[in-house]
């Protein structure tokens, strides 16, 4: 049986007519940059998330960069974040001359351990940047409370958690601003690069819009330093088409996640496959369906031999990466190091069939047996 790690082909087959029609419309009207689909998508997403403003940008990384530019992060300013994330989270802080200050993760969710944040706040701290890893947001109320006590901004890196909810509210609308990614493999993806920033703050929204177009407040009036950070009209058209069945996809992801948990737990109290914890006040949109295993390299090889591709998000936390190691001591985030050695993501997409899922589970149970 052949299983894709993420099945974008079946998704395209299901949405082919609307994707093609929407792209065709863009090709014909010819407004490839800032065409009408950009505004249409921004309105649809803002409404969906419940935020006053959505500003589409050229990627999730650019969303974080523009957010930090709007905050006017200065060289030496500190941003508290997790080391157990994709590099872009810390990379954008460093690109602004800032210093990522790493706080270790909760071992069962792999999200930032909020109880450890306040000890890292200094007079240079400007913001806290939690990440909704694997599609489950961090404890945002607790993060916001710490931020309020110290006058800090909270930037939610929601690249993996678009569509998730926390205490009845949507990811991306849980703090000063939320940044997401429409990278093709994300829960809501386009066919290239794309991203968005959400906020309820009118002044920040204006800043994001200006920074996205080289700091222009009016044509050729460069009020501030910006970037070329627009999302292509064609990519906005793709996301608009994908929104048509996004609620169905979210439900499918939830059901597949629940079924994975049931099938893996049904085999008894397992020490060899541990599941991620989803906190009762939130859900997980399973950007990745990640489990913990020992002897991961061998397990992955055995799975691949059975036609089951896997991935590791992420093998080495940022504080141990050559480009970032200078900012932190190697011992400061032990749980991130352990998670990096044990996490393994299984195939997950809305079109994964029960038969495919059964095959993945059977292959995994076999692969973790002592050989």
Ligand X SMILES: Cc1ncc(COP(=O)(O)O)c(C=O)c1O
Residues of the shown chain interacting with ligand X in the complex, contacts defined by CB under 6 A: 59-61, 85-86, 88-89, 131, 157, 159-160, 181, 183, 193, 195
Whichever of 193 and 232 has its CB closer to ligand X, that residue is 193
Nearer to ligand X, 161 or 233 (CB): 161
What is the number of the residue whose Cβ is closest to ligand X? 60
CB atoms within 10 A of CB 35: 18
For the chain, helix, strand, coil in percent to 5 are 40, 15, 40
In contact, 224 and 211? CB cutoff 8 Å: yes
Strand partners, 222: 216
Q: Least CB distance from residue 132 to ligand X, whole Å?
A: 8
Q: State the Cα–Cα distance between residues 123 and 139, nearest whole angstrom.
A: 23
Between 88 and 172, name the residue whose CB sits nearer to ligand X: 88
Residue 109 CB, nearest approach to ligand X (Å): 14
Which residue(s) pair with 218 in the sheet? 221
CB of 158 to ligand X, least distance (A): 8
Q: Which of helix, strand or coil describes residue 314? A: coil
Tokens 């996490």, residue located: 343
Cβ atoms of residues 317 and 64 within 8 Å: no
Q: Look at residues 110, 106, 117 and name the one whose alpha carbon lies nearest to residue 147.
A: 117
Q: Which is nearer to ligand X, 173 or 356 (CB)?
A: 173
* In contact, 75 and 103? CB cutoff 8 Å: no
CB of 272 to ligand X, least distance (A): 27
Min separation Cβ 193 and ligand X, Å = 6
Complex with ligand X: residue 158 or 363, whichever CB lies closer: 158
């Amino acid at each position: 049986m052949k299983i894709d790690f993420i099945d974008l082909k079946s998704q395209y087959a299901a949405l082919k007519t609307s994707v093609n029609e929407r792209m065709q419309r863009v090709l014909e009207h010819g407004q490839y940059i800032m065409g009408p689909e950009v505004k249409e998508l921004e309105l649809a997403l803002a409404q969906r998330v419940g935020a006053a403003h959505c500003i589409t940008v050229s990627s999730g990384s650019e969303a974080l960069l523009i957010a930090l530019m709007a905050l006017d992060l200065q060289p030496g300013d500190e941003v508290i974040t997790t080391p157990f994330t994709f590099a872009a989270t810390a990379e954008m802080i460093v690109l602004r001359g800032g210093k990522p200050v790493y706080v270790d993760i909760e071992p069962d969710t792999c999200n930032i351990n909020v109880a450890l944040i306040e000890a890292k706040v200094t007079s240079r701290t400007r913001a806290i940047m939690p990440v909704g890893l694997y599609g489950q947001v961090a404890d945002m109320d607790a993060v916001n409370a710490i931020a309020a006590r110290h006058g800090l901004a909270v930037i939610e890196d929601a690249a993996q958690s678009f569509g998730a909810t926390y205490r009845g509210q949507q990811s991306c609308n849980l703090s000063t601003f939320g940044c997401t990614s429409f990278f093709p493999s994300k829960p809501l993806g386009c066919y290239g690069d794309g991203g968005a920033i959400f906020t309820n703050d009118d002044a920040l929204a204006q800043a994001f819009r200006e920074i996205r177009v080289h700091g222009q407040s009016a044509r050729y009036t460069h009020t501030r330093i910006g970037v070329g950070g627009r999302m292509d009209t064609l990519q906005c058209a793709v996301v608009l088409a994908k929104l048509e069945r996004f609620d169905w996809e979210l439900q499918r992801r939830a059901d597949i996640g629940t079924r994975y948990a049931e099938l893996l737990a049904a085999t008894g109290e397992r020490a060899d496959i541990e599941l991620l914890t989803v906190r009762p006040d939130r859900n997980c949109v399973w950007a990745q369906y990640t489990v913990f295993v020992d002897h991961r390299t061998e397990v992955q090889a055995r799975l691949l031999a059975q036609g089951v591709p896997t991935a590791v998000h992420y093998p080495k936390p940022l504080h141990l990466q050559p480009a970032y190691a200078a900012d932190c001591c190697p011992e400061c985030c032990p749980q991130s190091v352990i998670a990096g050695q044990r996490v393994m993501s299984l195939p997950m997409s809305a079109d994964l069939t029960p038969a495919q899922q059964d095959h993945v589970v059977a292959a995994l149970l076999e692969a973790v047996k002592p050989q």
